[in-house]
Amino acid sequence: MKDTMRMIPQLVKRLNLAFERDMSRCMLDQELTPAQASALGYIIERIAAGDTLHARDVESGLRLSHATTAGLLARLAAKGFLTFERCEADSRMKVIRLTDKCRAQDAVLRRRMLELEDGLLRALTPQEREQFRALLLRLIEAVET
């Protein structure tokens, strides 16, 4: 029997590359990269839940470096998806706000992300999808602690 355990990192990478390729195609008309679309999805979800969001929240929530987060937020603002307001409690911080353009595109972006995920997982039954998700989360928790 072939030792497939040694191939898991390569298999995960192949899966991620396929997903990013499909995401790039899907978000082309929005002029969003996969990283920008993922970050914007996270921001929209958190704000929709009623959270006040700052750059540090995005940084920690997505486990990105400060420089990467700053670049993503700047590009999303330049593309008209986000604006920033001074935080009343701490003038050194800026609160992230969604623009009308972003709110108008919210449903389209969410639908496309769900379609991408469904396409990625179409070979799995609903039960297998849940198992796969649970296993991924367990592995992520193990490597991040």
Each residue of 103-142: pLDDT tens digit?
Answer: 988 888 888 888 888 988 999 999 999 999 999 999 989 9
Give Cα separations from 7 to 11, 12, 16 (angstroms).
6, 9, 14
Q: Give domain status of residue 136, yes or no.
A: no
Residue 87 counted as domain residue: yes
DSSP 78-115: HTTSEEEEE-SS-TTSEEEEE-HHHHHHHHHHHHHHHH
Q: Which two tokens stand for residue 77?
A: 């603002």
Residue 1 pLDDT class (50, 70, 90 cuts): very low
Domain housing 70 = 7-120
For the beta carbon of residue 137, count every other beta carbon within 10 angstroms: 10
Residue whose pair of structure tokens reads 């108008």 in the numeric block: 104
Q: Is the pLDDT of residue 30 over 90?
A: no
Predicted TM-score (pTM) of the model is: 0.80
- Residue 37: what residue type? A
Tally of domains in the chain: 1
Beta pairing partners, 95 = 54, 85
What confidence score (pLDDT) does residue 4 get? 59
The CATH code of the domain that includes 68 is 1.10.10.10
Q: Per-residue confidence at 3, pLDDT binned at 50, 70, 90?
A: low
Query: 3 by DSSP, 3-state: which?
Result: coil
Give residue-wise pLDDT tens across range 58-107: 999 999 999 999 999 999 999 999 999 988 887 788 899 999 999 988 88
